Amino acid sequence: METVSKGIEHMQLGVTYSGGIFGRMEGQRDVKDSNVESLMKSIITNKGLIQPIVVDKSMRIIDGGNRVVAITRLNKEGHNFPIMYVINNIAQPRAMMHSNIKKEDWKLFNFLDFQAAQGDETCKRVIELQREYSDFATGIVADIMNSSMSKTAVRSLEEEDYTIKEESGRRILDICRAIGKEDLLHTDEKNPHTLSRFVKAIRRVVSMNDNSFNLNILIEKGKKNPLYLYTSQKDNIERIAQVYNKGERKKINKIHI
């Protein structure tokens, strides 16, 4: 069932339970599965759409293509969410382009500040930790504290499942600080021990060798063997292991990657 109400001037409001009534404009971008999956979670959490779909007088989507796909999938799975939409009777095709290029995605600090203001204790704590580890970028602190190693802090915050492991996060940042203090990284880049690709490499090495990793061993061997900074995280992981394992004959004393 579809309902369309009279609007103001050139706008009308409508509601439907079928995404099939909407069309696409020629040249419109394809939807992204990752965006659709994130929106499906948002729709379930908020019990429906937060904002309506915008269409032209021919019912072609101007803004909200990903939302239409997400809510349609959910309804096919057994949900019964209404699709609210606004008909803009004077919109031209270029309006679709303008509605997308004018958007600005939320940055990490936007998520942290907003959720902290709403009383989220985890976000409040991360903001405090960032002040304590101010030599690292906010994104790195939030990522390293993140309980999930498979998702960025931003993605976890978007999906509202961001939790932290403060003790292990502190350990990683403190290890990186110690390496920086000893000036072990051979590179022309400033403060290389604070760069994401190195910090995350340290986290990977430590997480895979939690009980056997010894910072003092890495520091002592790093003074004799160059600890280079590479562009890729994978190369940094391999180099850290090479330096750490240098001269070790017994398997039990080596770290693994």
Q: What is the pLDDT of residues 151-163, one digit of tens each?
A: 999 989 988 899 9
Q: Which of 75, 101, 127 is the last residue of a domain?
A: 101
The answer on 142 and 21 residing in a single domain is no
Q: Which of 78, 101, 124 is the last residue of a domain?
A: 101
Q: What is the CATH number of the domain that holds 50?
A: 3.90.1530
The answer on 125 and 92 residing in a single domain is no
Give me the long-range contacts of 59-63 (CB less than 8 A, separation at least 24).
Answer: 59/21, 59/22, 59/23, 59/87, 60/22, 60/23, 60/24, 60/25, 60/96, 61/22, 61/23, 61/24, 61/25, 61/28, 61/96, 62/25, 62/88, 62/91, 62/95, 62/96, 62/99, 63/96, 63/99, 63/100
pLDDT of residue 202: 97
The answer on 195 and 72 residing in a single domain is no
Q: How many CB atoms lie within 10 A of CB 49?
A: 20
The answer on 241 and 147 residing in a single domain is yes
Residue 215 above 80 pLDDT? yes
pLDDT of residue 4: 60
The answer on 247 and 163 residing in a single domain is yes
Residue 1 above 60 pLDDT? no
Q: Which of 101, 129, 145 is the last residue of a domain?
A: 101
The answer on 86 and 26 residing in a single domain is yes
The answer on 126 and 247 residing in a single domain is yes
Q: Tokens 């609210």 belong to which residue?
A: 84
> Cα separation of 21 and 72, whole Å?
11
Structure-token pair, residue 111: 């998520």
pLDDT of residue 101: 66
Residue 201 above 70 pLDDT? yes
The mean pLDDT of 117-139, rounded to a whole number, is 96
The answer on 120 and 74 residing in a single domain is no
Find out whether 232 and 197 touch, Cβ atoms under 8 Å.
Answer: yes
The answer on 114 and 83 residing in a single domain is no
Percent of the chain with pLDDT over 90: 70
The answer on 162 and 35 residing in a single domain is no
Between 200 and 91, the more confident residue is: 200
Structure-token pair, residue 77: 């799975």
Amino acid letter for position 56:
D
Q: Tokens 């990752």 belong to which residue?
A: 34
Which of 87, 83, 82 is CA-nearest to residue 8? 87
Comparing 30-34, 52-56, 166-170, the range with the smallest average pLDDT is 30-34
The answer on 158 and 236 residing in a single domain is yes
Find out whether 166 and 125 touch, Cβ atoms under 8 Å.
Answer: yes
* pTM of the predicted structure, to 2 decimals: 0.71
The answer on 137 and 183 residing in a single domain is yes
Domain interval for residue 14: 3-101
Find out whether 63 and 54 touch, Cβ atoms under 8 Å.
Answer: yes
Comparing 21-25, 145-149, 202-206, 246-250, the range with the smallest average pLDDT is 246-250
When divided into structural domains, the chain yields a total of 2
